[in-house]
Amino acid sequence: MKTPYIKLNGVNLHYASVAFKERSLKSLLSNAFKLGSKRADIKDVHALKNISLEIKGGERVGLLGHNGAGKSTFLKTVAGLYPVSAGDVEVHGEVRSLFDLSMGFEPDATGRENVLYRGLLLGLSPSFMRQKEAEIVDFAGLGEFIDYPIKTYSAGMQVRLAFAISTAVGGDILLLDEVIGAGDANFMGKARARIADLVAAAEILILASHDFGALSTLCARGLVFHHGSIVFDGPIAAAIHEYKKINGLTA
């Protein structure tokens, strides 16, 4: 099997301005009566700017940057969730991503039914999910609520179930966006242990975080994003220093 790798060449990604505009009937009627007032034009957002890099098997890469710098967009581009406006994205290997954990649930279906639904969204087969169901239910620790509709769950319960499903199987390439906040101390202990196992098994890790300790512990290479561009690529300690300097966090 070929060693997993990620390669981006001249990648640019824009968000269409229409995604940010108010399109409700109420807003349309409101704006129609604002005669003489000028509406500010909302321009397309250039979320990733000319990104070129290669990440090889065995690498642990940390992403740093202010909120909106492009870290999460970069992760979702690598995961194949966002189509690029220009350039090439080449990803070889099975990708497992841990972000947007609340997405993919059917609120009127039970937790047990959603194990199957969410597994399908993750590209896993129905037979595989049936084999993993008991393990997932036990890990989530929801008791009898597993047979209740998702719409009756608290946010924490939803995250616990989503985490249990999403981490039921690892991948060659592991994408993590910040730390998982998943409920009580007992569950958090289990969650950290499982993430540690996934990290150890993955050929490539990419972690976006503001936690310098976690980045220093888990990553050897750091990418600093600033307004959609990568402004530094090097050792993680130097990347943290560069991030602090850019954002005025150094003395």
The CATH number of the domain where 84 resides is what?
A: 3.40.50.300
Please tell me whether residues 18 and 85 are part of one structural domain: yes
Is it the case that residue 76 has pLDDT exceeding 80?
yes
71-89 average pLDDT score:
93
Residue 99 lies in a domain: no
Answer yes or no: is 103 within a domain.
no
Flag whether 159 is in a domain.
Answer: yes
- CB atoms near residue 234 (< 10 Å): 13
The band of 26, judged by pLDDT with boundaries at 50, 70 and 90, is low
In angstroms, rounded to a whole number, what is the distance separating the alpha carbons of residues 53 and 222?
12
Radius of gyration of the chain (CA): 21
pLDDT of residue 159: 86
What is the mean predicted confidence (pLDDT) over 188-211? Answer: 90
Answer yes or no: pTM beyond 0.85: no
Q: Which residue has the tokens 């540690």?
A: 196
pLDDT greater at residue 100 or residue 134: 134
Query: Are residues 214 and 198 part of one domain?
Result: no
Q: Which residue has the higher pLDDT, 216 or 187?
A: 216
**Residue type for 74, please?**
F
Confidence tier at 17 by pLDDT (50, 70, 90) = low
Confidence of residue 243 (pLDDT cuts 50, 70, 90): very high
Let me know whether 57 and 117 are in one domain: no
Is 102 part of a structural domain of the chain?
Answer: no
| pLDDT tier, 20 (very low <50, low <70, confident <90, very high otherwise) | very low
Of 118, 42, 56, give the one whose Cα is nearest residue 93. Answer: 56
Q: 3-class SS at 36?
A: coil
Q: How many domains does the chain have?
A: 2
Is 60's pLDDT higher than 80?
yes
pLDDT averaged over every residue in the chain:
86
For residue 16, give its domain range: 5-93+208-246
Residue 219 lies in a domain: yes
